[in-house]
Amino acid sequence: MGGRKKPSISQLEKRMSKEKKGKDRGKSEKGYEMRLNPSGELTQRSIDQIIEEIKSMPYLTPYLVAAKFGLKISRAKIVLRELESKGVVKVVNRNRRVPIYVVAS
């Protein structure tokens, strides 16, 4: 009887732009493309790309890495822990919420 109202043209345009933006989640502003192994881990090429880019950053947090490379925050935390174990970055401050890293010299 009643049913849902038809969306206006401006509402359709907004929906289309949001859907298009969501499809580009894998690539961030500079066009980084992070690839995963079949086991769900980042490939070595992706990690090397991250290492090259973080050298110019003054500090690192999981949010900064996730935003820059188009990763989920949980994946960014894993990557930063892995880079810490390799000695590429070191922890400056670790609290229960956000660890802060700097590039090891």
- Give the domains, in start order, of the chain with CATH numbers: 44-105 (1.10.10.10)
The neighbour count for residue 51, using CB atoms within 10 Å, is 15
60, two tokens: 């690192």
Nearest one of 91, 74, 83 to 47, comparing CA atoms: 83
Band of the pLDDT at 29, cuts 50, 70, 90?
A: low
Mean pLDDT confidence for 64-86: 92
pTM, whole model, 2 decimals?
Answer: 0.67
Q: How far apart are CA 2 and CA 4, in angstroms?
A: 7
Residue range 40-62, pLDDT digits in tens = 788 888 888 899 999 999 999 99
